[in-house]
Structure 1
Amino acid sequence: MRRRALLLSAMGGAGALVVGWAVMPARSRLGAARLMLDGEGVAALNGWIKVATDGSVILAMPRSEMGQGVHTALPMLAAEELDVPLGSVRIEQAGADAIYGNVAMLVAGLPFHPQEVEADDGYGRVKASRWLVGKVARELGINATGGSSSVADAWDVVRLAAATARARLLGAASLQWRLPVEELSVRDGVVSHPSGKSASYGQLARFAAATPSGTVRLKEHKEFRVIGEPAARIDIPSKVNGSARFGLDVRLPGMRYAVVRLCPMLGGAPGHVDSRAALAMPGIDRIVMLPAYAGSTAGIAIVGKTTWHARQAALAVDVEWQQRPGGGLDTRRIEAGLEAAVRAQSGHVFHERGDVDAAEAAGRQVEAWYRAPYLAHATMEPMNCTAQVRGGKVEIWVPTQVPQMASAIAARIAGVAPEAVTVHVTLLGGGFGRRLEVDYVAQAVRVAMDCGGVPVQLVWPREEDQAHDFYRPMQVALLRGSLDKDGRVSSLRIKSAGDAIQPRWLARALPALSGPLDMPDKTTAEGLFDLPYGFANQKMEHVATRMEVPVGFWRSVGHSHNAFFSESFIDELALAAGQDPVEFRLAQLARLPRFRAVLALAADKSGWGSKALPGRARGVALHESFGTIVAQVAEVSLQGGLPRVHRVTCALDCGTVINPAIVAQQMESSVVFALSAALHGRIDIQAGVVQQGNFPSYPLVKLADAPVVDTWLVASQRPPGGVGEPGVPPLAPAVANALFALTGKRLRSLPLVV
């Protein structure tokens, strides 16, 4: 925290100090060996890598595994540079040092347009800005799993750490054998010399810990033996045999269980509470009042012998719930308010090129309103946290995407120093951005404080999880295109309105940083201001609102709804111009060959241009997010008047592919996740109460309704982009465009109702 305070002070203080700091080299992320505690039979070689006497490699793991495969992908990077089999690499949870912070996630927040990024020669404004923000991110050291950034962030640092460890191990052999290091080679963790001398990493580890690294060289792409090859996920066996430990699997001696019951009205609070009947029930210990922690709604928790005992007792508590001071929230009024904001308020202009006003005055107009509702995360594992508070120390076991923030709020609630908190990150039964929040951690610590040192597992029932989420914001947009006298699109104007996530999240999770960083939020306009198409005149503007519904990051964030707006409207412009949707897009991508290649691949593999099966139609969408370009073609029919998606052809350029099998899995996951939202997802609020209480009223796509997903990769040697989220945004517009081709009806609101 001291480093952050000094940094912010410098940034807001004397100009000379800021300039002096800015020209200093970026802080190294390699880290000292002391950051990885030595144990019996292991030797730490830097802050990321240690080697055991049996030759196995232990990698510090700063990122949370929530199904995206990061616990396999990062060990693959280490295995590649160390020249060891993937099965030789184990992981252990990283500590809290700044070297484990997610630099790539913060750098990705810079609002650059794709054409500017593609045109940048590597030494211009884009690179300079990324370098400076990366420097700030290294100082802040915020450890978070999000933004599809885990592999992108690890690409340089984990490979460098492994290559440095390899160099030290080779150096140790060179010194012991008194042979030139250039004559040594490594294969499967064994260092050898043509003379016949050889030693395993395990035999060299202790000596290597005291050996300088010498020359460190990262492998070139042509040398890769692990990266780029399909590999079985490391986490799958334990998930199959049941030994994997998620948050709800934590069991500790003497543990008690707590269940929350929050005020049904968002932002409300409990008034009079009569808990006599509940406390008289078998197996019940106590009731704990829960304030509105970290953006949550206030409520109560009941502690008992089992989750079932606590759940039944929580329902038996008689509470007079009080509405929020500002009155009950209502989604119908919120939507009307957003439309009014678009019509009447000026917003932040994220992108402007040419003269849109002049083009509109001289051309024919195509105009449409698009709308997207609030959405819940609906993770399979509901919110939970196990906490123990005793002897001035706090220990928590939690499925979280932000262990540092979980630690910070635990310390704040318990009134202890940050170093008195120990965090154990379990596997996550789904994250999707919901576990970037720490409200449930605060609640668990508060309950544990009342339990006399006994560990307590706090669980949210599914209904509470659904009714008290941090939702994807509702958003509306007005899109207008102009066509000149020759029928060519001459301008594109987009104006949208919706709540900004970033400042609200910072206020909840990092209150000290919320003020300085409350500025235009890129996530509100991503997928609108950064379209790749080369229309001569463009203007993209967003009105940031505060509708008081708790909002948070949702898988692919603003791209998730903005891609639906933009890519559906691009089809409308293609129709107005009398062109095929694929050909229309290709013509506007003349300066962006990577985008053209992805779109052309998807069109080719889907059979675009050929006749679809009877009763079916195809729709296309192209979108870039999190450093990855994705094109999807959806093949759709109507069955019983309802949309049925049979096949989705997905092409993508995600830079260097670490594990093609995981990429394919993530595209399949994204398609099913996005299809659930496109066909069913909406959160309605009346008088402050969320109307969707569980999966029957918030359905997900079932296995029988899931489409076939074909994934095709464009070869690339660029640094890796994300794969966990980029497959989500194109799905809804591809399906909507297919439904238009099938029915002639343009659907401009989500979910898609024919």
Structure 2
Amino acid sequence: MKLTRRTLLWSGLGAAGALVVGWSGMPPRSRLGKPDTLPPAEGEVGLNGWLKIDAQGHALLAMPYAEMGQGVHSTLALLVAEELNLRPDQVRLIPATHDALYGNVAVLAASLPFHPRDTEPGHETTSARLGQWMIRKIGRELGLVMTGGSATMADTWEVLRLAAATARAQLLGAASLRWKLPVSEFNVVQGVITHPAGGHHAHYGEFAAAAATTPPGEVRFKKREQWALLGKPQKRLDIPARTNGQARYGIDTRLPGMVFAVVRHAPMLGGSVARMNSNEVLKRPGVERVLRLASVAGSTEAVAVVGISTWHAKQASLALDIDWAAPLNARLDSQAIQQALEAQAQAAADGDAGFSFHKVGDAPAQLASAAKRLNAVYKAPYLAHATLEPMNCTAQVTPQGVQVWAPTQVPGLARAVAARVADVPEDKVTVHMTQIGGGFGRRLEVDSVAQAVRVALETGGRPVQLVWPREEDFTHDFYRPAGVAVLQGSLDAQGQLQALRIGSAGDAITPRHLERNAPWLAGPVDTPDKTTAEGLFDLPYAIPHQLMRHVATRSGVPVGYWRSVGHSHNAFFSESFIDELARLAGQDPVAFRLGLLKDRPRHAAVLQLAASKAGWGQALPKGQARGVALHESFDSTVAMVMEVSLQNKALKIHRVVCAVDCGTAVNPAVIAQQVEGSVVFGLSAALYGRIDIVNNEVRQKNFPDFPLLSLRECPPIETHIVPSTLPPTGMGEPAVPPVAPALANALFALTGQRLRELPLQLPG
């Protein structure tokens, strides 16, 4: 069967059709679950697979999602608190089990390479509806538990409210049976059910046992006008612990009898140990053993030193007598890779190289006869994730099974790799998810988990905490792929954009991720990976003639998901080029974009709000300029206006104004926090981020080589939310992509110099 974007179910599944044969007529698996999904505990009563009620009448919410600063734990608690009429602090989080019930379905549905025009709520095409329905069915069967793709709110919006509303109906039903009074006469405030006329008064805990066997009857969500919590700024429940030091991250794990391991990889990507003499190191006080670690889950071959503390282990690892061997038949060089990508992108733009993700009209013919034509080449480098919490994992292997404590975004994959390494069934592995000190996609990988379990096999049943020194993380990351795009556009005699042709090239992430982390899902051939072309093929603009092709390369550099994935650099390419076309047409950049959004009122509203709040068109002080960018990713749209100047040849960002449409704003305060963090993250990458590889070795070793935006450099950031009644969409990533083009466009307005390569090299 020929693979097209219409028939492709999930880039990377390969023979996805084999998964659906024989059960396509079955109804989707329920996501509400059963009370016995949650482990029993004294004084707690399960009402479904997500919720328990304790003896005090508080709700216990099963939490399969990782908290890495995005505020998801607090926000999901709000959904439950709202439907159960509880205070947010009356919802306590408990670890979810490893049940498939908690699989992230929305992230799989979002991976389908449909154009947003085909999936817009209320305007979905038949093929988009069918494709998403099918992949959701597959997702419910696979049960891939993960936090990523800005999909958590989209995934839980219906199911958590349903779980809470069903529990409410059961609790009120139990009270009705006991008091022999109609539910319609009850009031519920902070989990206390009252019947004012009869004088009855009791909290949820007193009805929980009876509620477990009470049919819920008709379940209804609270109406928006009844909401007391949702849509209003709410405090995050985790802030006190994060500020007073009580929050426990993976690296804070401490267990009785624990030992510590430090990893040292071959300095060359894909390198290996040629010779090692550990005799002198093993004589050091506090050092217990030295182990060789084979490549697993995509890691480079390494050694691990085990000691009584991380310090002892690290110092010994640096003193090891090792000769390293370079990989055979591999000479990785980022500059050479970039040159090859440019040639491949040009071939995609000029011919039929690569995969066609989007085609309308006849772009080549229109370009050939254009009144005005513009060509540009844009480039982006490899990037590291640079998480502040070093890579770490604690593992313990005993005859009873394997215990893993990990700051992971993928507990299911962590469990699977731990079972493979320890050679035990998966039901003998328990993964304890800790808080994460920065994920950004790096902790979608499980290499450090595999290494920790391998070391734990040698520690006699004692738990071991394995830590990567910062230099190991920078030089052995799964990097954001380098990318190149060749963009060609044409205007008619009236300055209207008629054609856009884009050819791009860069490594495909999804096939490589599946190969190393979920080989049972990897197909026999690479299928088109949406992440390579997102931000290029799915533009919101009404352009009569469009053609977008991508060449998926395989450079040999380990690549992975980086915050906002393909959008992170493709938005820089597309939105900078749209700005160039506006200048070619002699039009204002905002007006030019609005002219292309006449049939996209939601996008136009976001752009107009950002422009209005930023005072677009109003005079700025001499020496300052504004730039704008608009981008949709993860079903959310962000418009950004940036005001800049050059003071003594140094960049000064005076203000960043953002407008967002992310559907229902569940907690506007958390949305603003995510925008602010995204802008800082995006500016760090736009100004400083790059990974250079020479002779298989990464040159950047630590933060001095890979700077982050300083507090002094950070501008004021404003967030304005477009009101919406649509379901909530992602906000952990969508404000990252427009940062680089908004800055580049502002610098062009200021200096007249067009910067087409990241990181941006400032004029002068």
TM-score range, shorter chain: over 0.9
Q: 1:425, CA displacement in angstroms?
A: 0.5
Give the structure 2 partner of residue 176 of structure 1: 178
Q: 1:183, CA displacement in angstroms?
A: 2.9
Give, as a single letter, the amino acid of the residue that structure 2 aligns with 1:360. Answer: L
Per-residue CA deviations over 1:52-89 (Å, capped at 9, x if unaligned) read 11111100001000000011010000001111111100
Q: Partner of 2:139: helix, strand, or coil?
A: helix
Q: Partner of 1:633: helix, strand, or coil?
A: strand
Give the structure 2 partner of residue 625 of structure 1: 633
Structure 2 distance, partners of 1:442, 1:394, is 12
Give the structure 2 partner of residue 84 of structure 1: 86
Give the structure 1 partner of residue 61 of structure 2: 59
Structure 1 distance, partners of 2:15, 2:734, is 36
Q: 1:11, CA displacement in angstroms?
A: 5.6
Structure 1 distance, partners of 2:26, 2:193, is 38
Per-residue CA deviations over 1:401-422 (Å, capped at 9, x if unaligned) read 0001101100100001101111
CA contact (8 A) 2:347 2:503 kept: no
Equivalent residue in structure 1 for 2:71, among 69, 72, 87: 69
Per-residue CA deviations over 1:10-36 (Å, capped at 9, x if unaligned) read 96459xx73x52232211000010111
Give the structure 2 partner of residue 523 of structure 1: 531
Please show how residues 302-313 of structure 1 align to structure 2 within 5 Å. Answer: 302-313=305-316
CA contact (8 A) 1:683 1:692 kept: yes
Q: Partner of 2:207: helix, strand, or coil?
A: helix
Q: 1:392, CA displacement in angstroms?
A: 4.6
Give, as a single letter, the amino acid of the residue that structure 2 aligns with 1:168. Answer: Q
Give the structure 2 partner of residue 223 of structure 1: 226
Q: 1:515, CA displacement in angstroms?
A: 1.4
Structure 2 distance, partners of 1:516, 1:153, is 29
Per-residue CA deviations over 1:375-414 (Å, capped at 9, x if unaligned) read 0000000100001111151101100000011011001000
Give, as a single letter, the amino acid of the residue that structure 2 aligns with 1:690. Answer: V
Q: Does 1:577 align with 2:579?
A: no
Please show how residues 137-152 of structure 1 align to structure 2 within 5 Å. Answer: 137-152=139-154
CA contact (8 A) 2:14 2:522 kept: no
CA contact (8 A) 1:146 1:433 kept: yes
Q: Does 1:161 align with 2:163?
A: yes
Equivalent residue in structure 1 for 2:544, among 524, 536, 550: 536
Structure 1 distance, partners of 2:238, 2:199, is 38
Equivalent residue in structure 1 for 2:359, among 352, 356, 375: 352
Unpaired runs of at least 5, structure 1: 1-7
Equivalent residue in structure 2 for 1:334, among 309, 334, 337: 337
Please show how residues 429-448 of structure 1 align to structure 2 within 5 Å. Answer: 429-448=437-456
Structure 2 distance, partners of 1:121, 1:533, is 16
Give the structure 2 partner of residue 478 of structure 1: 486
Per-residue CA deviations over 1:463-511 (Å, capped at 9, x if unaligned) read 0010000000000000000122333221000110000000100111110
Structure 2 distance, partners of 1:490, 1:461, is 52
Q: Partner of 1:534: helix, strand, or coil?
A: coil
Please show how residues 283-682 of structure 1 align to structure 2 within 5 Å. Answer: 283-344=286-347, 346-363=353-370, 364-515=372-523, 518-682=526-690
CA contact (8 A) 1:392 1:416 kept: no
Structure 2 distance, partners of 1:118, 1:154, is 19
Structure 1 distance, partners of 2:624, 2:92, is 48
Q: Following TM superposition, where does structure 1 have runs of at least 4 consecutive aligned residues deviating by more than 6 angstroms?
A: none
Task: Rate the CA distance shift 1:86–1:13 in 2: closer, same or farther, 3 A.
Answer: closer
Structure 2 distance, partners of 1:329, 1:640, is 39
CA contact (8 A) 1:65 1:428 kept: yes
Equivalent residue in structure 1 for 2:733, among 717, 725, 729: 725
TM-score, scaled to structure 2: 0.96
Give, as a single letter, the amino acid of the residue that structure 2 aligns with 1:244. Answer: A
Comparing 685-694 with 511-520, greater Cα deviation is found at 511-520
Structure 2 distance, partners of 1:587, 1:224, is 38
Give the structure 2 partner of residue 28 of structure 1: 30
Structure 2 distance, partners of 1:119, 1:46, is 29
Give, as a single letter, the amino acid of the residue that structure 1 aligns with 2:471. Answer: E
Structure 2 distance, partners of 1:439, 1:701, is 28
Structure 1 distance, partners of 2:503, 2:17, is 33
Please show how residues 183-198 of structure 1 align to structure 2 within 5 Å. Answer: 183-193=185-195, 194-198=197-201
**How many corresponding residue pairs?**
744
For the aligned residue pairs, the C-alpha RMSD in angstroms reads 1.5
Q: 1:654, CA displacement in angstroms?
A: 0.4
Structure 2 distance, partners of 1:132, 1:743, is 51
Q: 1:688, CA displacement in angstroms?
A: 0.6
Q: Partner of 2:618: helix, strand, or coil?
A: coil
Structure 1 distance, partners of 2:729, 2:347, is 38
Per-residue CA deviations over 1:255-293 (Å, capped at 9, x if unaligned) read 111000000000111110011221121110000101111
Per-residue CA deviations over 1:569-619 (Å, capped at 9, x if unaligned) read 000000011100000000000000000000000000001101122221100
Q: Partner of 2:520: helix, strand, or coil?
A: helix
CA contact (8 A) 2:506 2:553 kept: yes
Per-residue CA deviations over 1:705-742 (Å, capped at 9, x if unaligned) read 11110000000000001010000000000000000000
Q: Partner of 1:718: helix, strand, or coil?
A: coil
Structure 2 distance, partners of 1:537, 1:12, is 33
CA contact (8 A) 2:402 2:428 kept: yes
Give, as a single letter, the amino acid of the residue that structure 1 aligns with 2:361. Answer: G
Q: Partner of 1:511: helix, strand, or coil?
A: coil
Give the structure 2 partner of residue 3 of structure 1: none
Comparing 334-343 with 311-320, greater Cα deviation is found at 334-343
Q: Partner of 1:556: helix, strand, or coil?
A: coil
CA contact (8 A) 2:14 2:525 kept: no
Q: 1:9, CA displacement in angstroms?
A: 12
Give, as a single letter, the amino acid of the residue that structure 2 aligns with 1:449. Answer: L
Structure 1 distance, partners of 2:48, 2:178, is 21
CA contact (8 A) 2:14 2:523 kept: no
Task: Rate the CA distance shift 1:729–1:154 in 2: closer, same or farther, 3 A.
Answer: same
Equivalent residue in structure 2 for 1:114, among 101, 113, 116: 116
Please show how residues 235-274 of structure 1 align to structure 2 within 5 Å. Answer: 235-274=238-277
Structure 2 distance, partners of 1:612, 1:688, is 48
Give the structure 2 partner of residue 744 of structure 1: 752
Unpaired runs of at least 5, structure 2: 1-12
Give, as a single letter, the amino acid of the residue that structure 2 aligns with 1:266. Answer: L
Structure 2 distance, partners of 1:69, 1:726, is 15
Q: 1:120, CA displacement in angstroms?
A: 5.0
Q: Partner of 2:682: helix, strand, or coil?
A: helix
Q: 1:644, CA displacement in angstroms?
A: 2.4
Task: Rate the CA distance shift 1:679–1:68 in 2: closer, same or farther, 3 A.
Answer: same
Q: 1:213, CA displacement in angstroms?
A: 1.4
Equivalent residue in structure 1 for 2:213, among 210, 213, 216: 210
Structure 2 distance, partners of 1:335, 1:652, is 34
Give the structure 2 partner of residue 50 of structure 1: 52
Structure 2 distance, partners of 1:517, 1:632, is 39
Comparing 177-186 with 204-213, greater Cα deviation is found at 177-186
Comparing 649-658 with 29-38, greater Cα deviation is found at 29-38
Structure 1 distance, partners of 2:719, 2:131, is 33
Equivalent residue in structure 2 for 1:124, among 112, 123, 126: 126
Per-residue CA deviations over 1:196-246 (Å, capped at 9, x if unaligned) read 222210111111112111111112222211111111111111112211110
Q: 1:152, CA displacement in angstroms?
A: 1.0
Give, as a single letter, the amino acid of the residue that structure 1 aligns with 2:359. Answer: E
Comparing 642-651 with 658-667, greater Cα deviation is found at 642-651
Structure 2 distance, partners of 1:119, 1:62, is 27
Comparing 357-366 with 75-84, greater Cα deviation is found at 357-366
